[in-house]
Amino acid sequence: MEKPDKKSTTPNDEIKNIATNRKARHEYIILETYEAGLVLKGTEVKSLREGKANLKNSYAKIDKEEAVLLNMHISPYEKGNRYNQDPTRPRKLLLHKSQIKRLVGKVVEKGLTLIPLRLYFKGSYAKVELAVAVGKKLFDKRKSITEREVERALRRALKERNK
């Protein structure tokens, strides 16, 4: 008799996207990604369930062996009245100690940045996809734009040829 695999996906592990940082892939070269949990208050979770979050200009920082997400905007919950929190308050990220130590080494030594790529619910837990990234220079951005345009032109040409 075989034991069921603990890592198998269940209906509770369904992923529901809340917000994505679309500008991040244009502004940065992504080297690694991590999944981190978020510490939230009650009305923030309700606001996230309505999809009212913004990752623009947000970044992560490591303070005293704790990862913190800064400048992420979660709009106040409409029915939350006095229980609403500050929309851009720092939010603690839940990572393993070994992951935090690895991130400290990369951010401090190599001068890399921690940026959130997307915010989502995995089952009933709010998660953030955190990326270790390097800022692109202006010529890198131009190069990626030209590559995208060339690829788009090739797809158009193939589509017209197949008609």
Query: Tell me, what CATH number does 28's domain have?
Result: 2.40.280.10
For the chain, the domain total comes to: 1
**In the predicted structure, residue 7 carries a pLDDT above the cut 80:** no
Q: Is the pLDDT of residue 11 over 80?
A: no
- In this structure, is residue 152 part of a structural domain? no
Is residue 105 domain-resident?
A: yes
Which amino acid is present at 112? L
Q: Which domain holds residue 51?
A: 15-137
2 part of a folded domain: no
**Residue 107 located in a structural domain:** yes
Mean per-residue pLDDT of the chain: 86
**6 vs 36 pLDDT, higher one:** 36
pLDDT in tens, 17-55: 999 998 888 888 899 999 999 998 888 888 888 888 999
Residue identified by tokens 């979050």 is 53
- For residues 114 and 162, which has the higher predicted lDDT (pLDDT)? 114
* pLDDT tens, residue by residue, 76-109: 888 877 777 788 889 999 999 999 999 888 888 7
DSSP calls for 22-56:
TTHHHHEEEEEEEEEEE---HHHHHHHHTT-EE-T
Q: Residue 28 forms beta bridges with which residues?
A: 135
- Using the structure block, give the residue that is written with the tokens 């990626």: 144
Is residue 48 situated within a structural domain?
yes
